Amino acid sequence: MTHRFDLRVYYEDTDLAGIVYYANYLKFIERARTEFVRSLGIDQVALREKSNGFVFAVRRVEADYIAPAKFDDELSVLTATEVVTGARLTLRQGIKRGDQELFVAVVTLVALTDTGQPTRLPADIRLLLQ
Amino acid sequence: MTHRFDLRVYYEDTDLAGIVYYANYLKFIERARTEFVRSLGIDQVALREKSNGFVFAVRRVEADYIAPAKFDDELSVLTATEVVTGARLTLRQGIKRGDQELFVAVVTLVALTDTGQPTRLPADIRLLLQ
Amino acid sequence: MTHRFDLRVYYEDTDLAGIVYYANYLKFIERARTEFVRSLGIDQVALREKSNGFVFAVRRVEADYIAPAKFDDELSVLTATEVVTGARLTLRQGIKRGDQELFVAVVTLVALTDTGQPTRLPADIRLLLQ
Amino acid sequence: MTHRFDLRVYYEDTDLAGIVYYANYLKFIERARTEFVRSLGIDQVALREKSNGFVFAVRRVEADYIAPAKFDDELSVLTATEVVTGARLTLRQGIKRGDQELFVAVVTLVALTDTGQPTRLPADIRLLLQ
């Protein structure tokens, strides 16, 4: 039950060391989370705008940088749910170039109302994420 | 009547060519515009939130890349008003490293309401910008 | 003879105004230039590394911001050669959401050696770009 | 023995949620690491270019997002060495707005040669970092 999202490394992603700048891996896995959620039929824009709406917010990231990605690399981001409760969602996200693992992160998300208050993940959303 | 804003080039600003990535000069001049407006006593956050509020939106950029900025460079962004009318504000913004000009842009801004409609620049704001 | 490159707008591309941050359109058109060049069979990495190698560097951008792109938008970047000479390459690049034009830029590139000196575009590359 | 680096939040740092985009906190702490190293009298550019040269590369990040930073906020990044050995350097970096802690990260760095091989941190550098 792993979601896969492919992407290409462009100039904007690199730094003068000739490799992907370390913060940009977080952009890559965020793109993949957006596509993961979409693939489950969850519409983030609609979620935010309805009454009792909420957004997912990142609460914690543990990231290991194993090997660098380079300009023009074709990468895959693999995303899987580790744990989902009423209070939080923990995802495991890895970035690979072919079979080689370059990066792995455990990302904990919480649901926030539009005033920034923590709220519970609705049961239907939890079911989809499991 | 030129405003000056100093900044340092960090890793995040560079690309694999070892120089500042071309889109990031637009970030530098946007930081300088924010400080230019602040230096005139204009509070952008307040402007947006009051009734008849507006934001500045970029309508056109003409940018010349003269020489590259590098990691660790200390740069100055020089900003001056070229023209201000009820409909638009045109600024000239240059980036220098010491005496050497690296980049120059002419940026045209318009005022938009919070629904994205064009609106007129209030007379008091125009006066400050002149 | 127009090259088309599709992309999705993610969180990273937006700013607090709820629309794509103005510098990020330059990232979008740079991704499209990389794919445009690749589609012509030109390998930028190889170009840089061979003897008489060069890179394309942006010399000038004229950009018009016509309407804002938003989170989750599916955009197309259309790229066409305007002029190519031994000294420079001028491209016209537009960004559309469906049929609506959001952004258009005229971008002038030059060829630089790895020491940053201007060099001529080889005849075979010019032919491909025409 | 804590290093402090101040910065301002600009438009480029925010996303449509109206707060700083989560990857950009890693940019902020990287700017602070550059200034921390500079404050110790270490010249990163020189380190890289001399024989036996090396660069610092991020190996692991553990980041907690406690409260969001917003447009125009004045933030301080506080950096302190946790552990330094011949093999790695671990820093604790916090971001505050006034007295309020917004973000805290534990960042592990290693030294890499210009071919990307791990190398030992020289004793004089370790001494400075302690």
The confidence score (pLDDT) of residue D1 equals 76
Check if the beta carbon of residue D56 is closer than 8 Å to that of residue D120.
no
What pLDDT score was predicted for residue A67?
A: 96
Distance of residue A81 Cα from the nearest chain B Cα, in angstroms: 30
Q: Show the tokens assigned to B45.
A: 């956050």
| Contact criterion met (CB < 8 Å) for B61 and C61 | yes
Query: Would you state the pLDDT for residue C49?
Result: 83
The count of CB pairs under 8 A between chains A and D is: 53
Mean pLDDT in chain A?
94
Q: How confident is the model at residue D66 (pLDDT cuts 50, 70, 90)?
A: very high
Of B82-91, B111-120, C105-114, D88-97, which gets the smallest average pLDDT?
A: B111-120
Lowest-pLDDT range of A70-79, D18-27, D37-46: D37-46
Tell me, what CATH number does D30's domain have? 3.10.129.10
Q: Which amino acid is at A113?
A: T
pLDDT at B19: 94
**Do C44 and A12 lie within an 8 Å CB cutoff?**
no
DSSP output for A42-97: --HHHHHHSTT--EEEEEEEEEEE-S--BTT-EEEEEEEEEEE-SSEEEEEEEEEE
Residues facing D108 on adjacent strands: D60, D90
pLDDT in tens, chain C (130 residues): 799 999 999 999 999 988 999 999 999 999 999 999 999 999 988 888 887 789 899 999 999 999 999 999 999 999 999 999 999 999 999 999 999 999 999 999 999 988 889 999 999 999 999 8
Provide CB contacts within 8 A for A64, sequence distance 6+. A103, A104, A105, D59, D60
Q: How many CA atoms lie within 13 A of D129 on its CB side?
A: 23
* Token pair belonging to C77: 């970047």
Instruction: Please report which confidence band the pLDDT of residue B129 belongs to, taking 50, 70 and 90 as the band edges.
Output: very high
C-alpha span between B103 and B97 (Å, rounded):
10
Burial class, A86, CB count within 10 angstroms (exposed 0-12 / middle 13-18 / buried 19+):
exposed
The H-or-E segment that residue B125 falls in is: helix B123-129
Give the H or E element holding residue D32. helix D24-39
* Residues of A annotated as catalytic (active site), given as ranges: 15
Q: CB distance D64–A60 less than 8 Å? A: yes
Q: Give the per-residue pLDDT at A47.
A: 87
pLDDT of the residue at B49 = 84
Q: Does D99 touch chain C (CB under 8 A)?
A: no
Q: Are B31 and B7 in contact (CB under 8 A)?
A: yes
State which residues form the domain around C76.
3-129
Strands C100-112 and D3-8: unpaired
Give C82 to chain D, closest Cα distance, Å.
31
Q: Which residues does chain D have within 8 Å of residue C19's beta carbon, measured at their own beta carbons?
A: 16
Instruction: Using a CB–CB cutoff of 8 Å, tell me whether D68 touches chain A.
Output: yes
Please indicate whether, in this complex, the C-beta atoms of C58 and B116 are within 8 angstroms of each other: no
Contact B29, B78 (CB under 8 A): no
Q: From the candidates C15, C70, C71, which should be mutated to test the interface with D, based on the most D CB atoms within 10 A?
A: C15
| Matching residue, tokens 């770009």 | C129
Contacts of B71 in chain D (CB under 8 A): 45
Q: Which of residues 32-51 of C touch A (CB under 8 A)?
A: 34, 44-45
- Compute the CA torsion angle A22, C34, C68, B93 (nearest 10 deg): 80
pLDDT value of position D18 = 87
Half-sphere exposure of C120 (CA within 13 A, CB side): 5
Beta-carbon-side half-sphere exposure of residue B71 (alpha carbons within 13 Å): 18
Whether the predicted pLDDT of D99 surpasses 90: yes
Q: What is the pLDDT of residue A110?
A: 96
pLDDT at A92 over 90: yes
For residue D25, what is the enclosing H or E element? helix D24-39
Number of structural domains (chain D) is 1
Q: pLDDT band for B114, please (50, 70, 90 cuts).
A: confident
Q: B31 and D10 in contact by Cβ < 8 A?
A: yes
Is residue D115 pLDDT above 90, yes or no? no
Which chain A residues contact residue D22 at CB under 8 A?
26, 30, 58, 61
pTM over 0.90: yes
pLDDT at C51: 75
- The number of residues in chain B equals 130
CB C66 within 8 A of CB C4: no
Residues 6+ apart with CB under 8 A from C4: C76, C77, C78, C79
Percent of chain B with pLDDT over 90: 81
Q: How far is CA D18 from the centre of its chain?
A: 24
First CA to last CA distance, chain C = 9
The one-letter amino acid code at C33 reads R
Phi/psi at A21 (nearest 5 deg)? -65, 140
Place of tokens 């951008």: C61
Q: Are A96 and A76 in contact (CB under 8 A)?
A: yes
Among C42, C61, C60, residue whose Cα is nearest residue C3: C42
Mean model confidence pLDDT for chain D: 94
Per-residue pLDDT tens over the stretch B32-70: 999 999 999 999 888 888 877 898 999 999 999 999 999
ipTM for this prediction: 0.95
- Beta-bridge partners for C60: B64, C108
Kindly indicate the confidence band of residue A52, based on its pLDDT and cuts at 50, 70 and 90: confident
| Contact across the interface for D63 and A64, Cβ inside 8 Å | no
